[in-house]
Structure 1
Amino acid sequence: MGEQSPNVAATEQATKVRERAGRPRDQLEVQDTPLDGDDDDTLYPSGIKLWMAVVSLCVVGILTGLDLTIVATAVPSLSDYFRVIEDIGWYSSGFSIVAASFTFLFGKLYSLLSAKMLYIISICIFEIGSLLCTVAVTSPMFILGRAVAGVGAAGIMSGSPVLLAYYFPRHRRPLWTTVVVSTKMTGIVSAPIVGGALIDWLGWRACFGINLPLGVLALVLVSFVKQKTTSNNNPRPWRDELKRFDWFGTISFMPAVTCLLLALQWGGVRYSWADARIIVLFLLFGALLAAFAWRQHQLQDDATLPPRIIRMKTVLATTWFDACANSSLAVTEYYMAIYFQGVKGYSPTYSGILLTPMLVGIIVGNLCSGAGITLLGYYNPFMFMTTILAPIASGLLTTLSLDENNVKVLCLLGFLGLAIGFGLQAPLVALQTIMKREDLPMAIAATGFGGLIGNAVWIVVSTSLFQSRLAAEIALRVPSVDTAQIEKAGLSQIRDIVGTERLGDVLLGYDEAVTQTLYLPVGLTAATLIGSVFTEWHSVKKKKS
């Protein structure tokens, strides 16, 4: 019998080859995917350990989802408390710019150190930032808290997909990525309602204080999960890798983006575009960015952003797609909250309820795409669905008027959320499918950077546009109203300052400024076409033997 085994094995192998040769090409296509080859040598958790791992990621997803959205609901209350409108863009951008600047740093660290340890550290940093926001007494202090929270969020957002790659084999990741992303969306969905209720009952500080007990729960759950892997893709000791870190690139990138954002916010509003201060800011941005790019080219794989990774077509495409999709959502949510509370005069709680359809639509679209990707094996069709449907939804939102029926508003918001939700998780699934495990953290960091820096840039641009349009509209409609006085008031305090006689005309100016700002998401959603077209097609299904 022992002598026949090799012959039997050879016969079976030849049969398999003949069977494959007769299959249609679409049945064989999944074998050509250049996927990570380490699925077989990874010890995936199972049983209670696996469930603890999933629950821990879901809790952190809810935590970050709440924080991402709740600030939009709190913007009118923050402007009332701090009595400043020009800083409202920085309440979100201060978070995004720091998170974007540290995303590559964490991407590098996740390829060197324990993913679990870094994840716990990230949660702790996020909690410190939330505490600073909770006790802030000035607008700059609040922005500082948001910046610290952004550092922690960078580690969390870079770490969650990496941990999923350690918890599940490749063919199961799309489904569980959908689950984790959906819990994050659950936090986003509940944030407007939770935030509105907290503001009405306890004040805006509670919107950020709520992160503290949730963070403790997340830390406890994550601490019980053990990360196991038998493979070691990094042959050099991690201490030696840290010495080779691109500290110059990491440090130079954040001031570069800050200069850009300051120029975009101040240009045409506080100072003219030809002002020396604006010109200097643009020059500093260009010089620092050039220094950063030169450093990346010099260090290659040891760089903060390795050129080898960023030159990959799918990495560039998914980064672009993620930046456009997330930025369009952020701008829309920001200014729809202003529309509901500042223009329509609704309470924060009611405003949060009215924003819910958009966020529910995101979850529904996300779940549909997760199931569809698992069934079809391809993520690209769902990116194209976002590219086709989202510009239509965003364009319809620009037709809103001061006396608009709320039913129409709710339907359009739900349509937009559904349209963007279809493609929102596709970039992550694409990278998890195509990239090798040792390259995955940096690829995810690049895509996460795109979403964060897109949010930072376009929120600031939208704030500048909103302020300039608001001043122009009020000056046109009600010349007797002091525009500077309105801008220094809170967004929900207009009625107390203007009075009933001039209120209608002033609100029309606000409504027009919001509508003009909502043209930005139309362009951003249309621009997702570039990412959809250039993302490579590969199947997520398990290789056939």
Structure 2
Amino acid sequence: MFLVALDMSIITTAIPTITARFHSEGQMGWYGSAFFLCLASFQSFWGKAYKYFPIKIAFLTAIGVFELGSLVAALSPNSPALIIGRAIQGIGGAGVTGGCYTVLAFITRPKNLQAVFGLTSGVFSLSSVLGPILSGMPPHSRVAHATLKELPFLFDIPGIALTVCALVYLVLVLEDGGVTKPWNSKYCIGLLIGFSLIVILLIVLEWKQGEGAMIVPRIIKRRTVLVLALFNLTAQGSGFARIYNLPIYFQAAQGQSPSESGIRTLPTVLTTSIFSFAGSLAIGKVGYYQPFLMLGSMFVTIGSAMIYTLEPNSGSGKYIGYQVLASIGSGLIIQLKVIVAQAISKRVDMSVTVGSVLFFQFIGGTVGVAASTNIMNNVLISSLPADGRISASDVLSAGSTGLAKMFPNPADLKIVVSAYMKGLKAAWIWSIALAGVSFLVSLAAERKSVRLDHVKKRTEKKAAEEAATA
């Protein structure tokens, strides 16, 4: 869990250095999106694997795939190899994240589950926000009655393939639209049309698949699961759009090195870790999860709005305080969705339900990062002088760490930094908007307790009512 969460953000501060080394400015968005794309698309696959095959074998297989991807990424000689490695990491990481929660649910006593999840959430949040700093510097399962011929449908391979295709189309258009290709070009229009058609086909396929679907209609139609899924989609998109752009702000606007920019995100690391652990324990005591969703998303929205006000000369009090404010909210909600999803699920549906919630969480990460990168680059390019004396290609190729070297003239450097700030602020508006939507989604959450004794009482009451009417 620590390594998978670490890989979600470990590449953020290293992206400028990677693009400069590989001369791959046009592919920088893929370094994060390839990981999230596969992390989201294969959640259902691994959820079904844990349901129909021995948990130990499925979990070790997921770890093996993740480690293979890590090896490919570490030894990559060029940009395409790095992207492929990140994609393989995402495939394995999808199985590791869902597997950790599934294994814990089976080996932990119910009364200790919230505390154990609290520790897990602390590890997850610590490693996911520690990435920028480091980059700068049960044994038997339910028996499966499925033949090899049925496996593609059991795991909904067609649904996974369509999801991957749809996300690739979307990331491609967000990578190139307005940056290397005009939005009204045949290339961008074709990708958008293709994305829309694939999404429609995917929805129809999932609906007809029923229990064999990647996202099981019976489960996603439950109000709590649907709210958690939509909340995950928007909150995760907002969080990663913010985290991915903070190191760029420190490097491009304040002239810091990758390692120093990573150190300046320490407030995010510490605050998120502390409040994720505290939030997990609190939900175990209080039981009612809606107030945590509302409070967490409110803090994230306010903190993100304050980060938007940062300027190149902003002092440490501001960039530390604003990170703390947003990270209090992130910590409160970062693992809450999974805790609630497990608490409301039947044991047989637990891995599939958690997989569905995580699917939307990582879709949010994919779209959040890709869209924020596109917004920043589009606004950055449009903010450069129209006379052409400062080339957009020179700015993008320099990366956020090489601006002073590429533009030694102080007047030109000031113009470029100003353009970068406009791009960053536009990307942060995207983060604020997603956080605001997540708050609105939290208002639709059911006002029910997920505390163990409360759930038990509701279950017994429902069983008694059904017996009385029978």
Fold shared, TM-score > 0.5 on shorter chain? yes
| Residue type at the aligned position of 2:450 | S
Q: Are 1:133 and 1:141, in contact at CA under 8 Å, matched by a contact in 2?
A: yes
Structure 2 partner of 1:162: 102
Q: Are 1:99 and 1:452, in contact at CA under 8 Å, matched by a contact in 2?
A: yes
- Measured in 2, the distance between the counterparts of 1:70 and 1:235 equals 38
DSSP 3-state at the match of 1:227 = coil
Equivalent residues in 2 for 1:182-331 (5 A)? Answer: 182-197=122-137, 227=139, 232=142, 236-237=145-146, 242=151, 244-245=153-154, 246-331=156-241
Q: Are 2:63 and 2:96, in contact at CA under 8 Å, matched by a contact in 1?
A: yes
Paired-residue identity, %: 26
CA deviation profile, 1:156-191 (whole Å, cap 9, x unmatched): 112111111101243432221111121122323433
| Residue type at the aligned position of 2:236 | N
Q: Which runs of 5+ in 1 are unaligned?
A: 1-60, 198-225
DSSP 3-state at the match of 1:458 = helix
Residue in structure 1 matching 2:449, options 538, 541, 544: 538
CA RMSD of aligned residues (A): 2.0
Equivalent residues in 2 for 1:407-446 (5 A)? Answer: 407-446=317-356
Residue in structure 2 matching 1:370, options 261, 269, 280: 280
Structure 1 length as normaliser, TM-score?
0.79
DSSP 3-state at the match of 2:263 = helix
Aligned-pair CA distance for 1:237: 4.9
Residue in structure 2 matching 1:336, options 227, 243, 246: 246
Q: Are 2:41 and 2:164, in contact at CA under 8 Å, matched by a contact in 1?
A: yes
User: Structure 1 residues 530 and 309 mapped into 2: Cα distance closer, same or farther (>3 Å)?
Assistant: farther
Aligned-pair CA distance for 1:241: 5.6
Aligned-pair CA distance for 1:238: 7.0
Q: Are 1:84 and 1:487, in contact at CA under 8 Å, matched by a contact in 2?
A: no
- Measured in 1, the distance between the counterparts of 2:161 and 2:430 equals 31
Segment of structure 1 superposing worse, 535-544 or 171-180 = 535-544
- Measured in 1, the distance between the counterparts of 2:196 and 2:230 equals 20
Residue in structure 2 matching 1:490, options 386, 399, 405: 399
CA deviation profile, 1:477-534 (whole Å, cap 9, x unmatched): x852122222222321111111133222221221222122111111111111243223
Aligned-pair CA distance for 1:379: 2.1
Q: Are 1:83 and 1:489, in contact at CA under 8 Å, matched by a contact in 2?
A: no
Q: Are 1:379 and 1:429, in contact at CA under 8 Å, matched by a contact in 2?
A: no
- Measured in 2, the distance between the counterparts of 1:326 and 1:446 equals 14
- Measured in 2, the distance between the counterparts of 1:499 and 1:381 equals 52
Structure 2 partner of 1:37: none
- Measured in 2, the distance between the counterparts of 1:126 and 1:135 equals 14
DSSP 3-state at the match of 2:52 = coil
CA deviation profile, 1:114-161 (whole Å, cap 9, x unmatched): 122111111111111111111112211111110011100111112111
Q: Are 1:265 and 1:463, in contact at CA under 8 Å, matched by a contact in 2?
A: yes
DSSP 3-state at the match of 1:345 = coil
Structure 2 partner of 1:118: 58
- Structure 1 runs of 4+ aligned residues shifted over 4 Å read 237-241
Q: Are 1:434 and 1:538, in contact at CA under 8 Å, matched by a contact in 2?
A: no
For this pair of structures, how many residues does the alignment match?
Answer: 453
The reply to whether residue 77 of structure 1 matches residue 17 of structure 2 is: yes
User: Structure 1 residues 514 and 243 mapped into 2: Cα distance closer, same or farther (>3 Å)?
Assistant: closer
DSSP 3-state at the match of 1:475 = coil
Segment of structure 1 superposing worse, 505-514 or 446-455 = 505-514
CA deviation profile, 1:302-343 (whole Å, cap 9, x unmatched): 222221112111111111111222221211111111111222
Segment of structure 1 superposing worse, 245-254 or 330-339 = 245-254
Aligned-pair CA distance for 1:277: 1.8
| Residue type at the aligned position of 1:456 | T
Structure 1 partner of 2:28: 88
| Residue type at the aligned position of 2:451 | V
Q: Which runs of 5+ in 2 are unaligned?
A: 461-470
- Measured in 2, the distance between the counterparts of 1:126 and 1:70 equals 15
Aligned-pair CA distance for 1:228: 5.4
Aligned-pair CA distance for 1:113: 0.8
Structure 2 partner of 1:358: 268
User: Structure 1 residues 228 and 168 mapped into 2: Cα distance closer, same or farther (>3 Å)?
Assistant: farther
CA deviation profile, 1:237-287 (whole Å, cap 9, x unmatched): 576762642222222221122112222332233222222222221222222
| Residue type at the aligned position of 1:102 | F
Structure 2 length as normaliser, TM-score?
0.91
Q: Are 1:366 and 1:421, in contact at CA under 8 Å, matched by a contact in 2?
A: yes
Aligned-pair CA distance for 1:293: 2.0
Structure 2 partner of 1:57: none
Q: Are 2:67 and 2:89, in contact at CA under 8 Å, matched by a contact in 1?
A: yes
- Measured in 1, the distance between the counterparts of 2:64 and 2:363 equals 23
Residue in structure 2 matching 1:104, options 44, 48, 63: 44
CA deviation profile, 1:191-227 (whole Å, cap 9, x unmatched): 3332222xxxxxxxxxxxxxxxxxxxxxxxxxxxx63
- Measured in 2, the distance between the counterparts of 1:511 and 1:526 equals 22
| Residue type at the aligned position of 1:500 | N
Structure 2 partner of 1:523: 433
- Measured in 1, the distance between the counterparts of 2:152 and 2:7 equals 34
DSSP 3-state at the match of 1:534 = coil
Structure 2 partner of 1:480: 389
User: Structure 1 residues 431 and 457 mapped into 2: Cα distance closer, same or farther (>3 Å)?
Assistant: same
DSSP 3-state at the match of 2:12 = helix
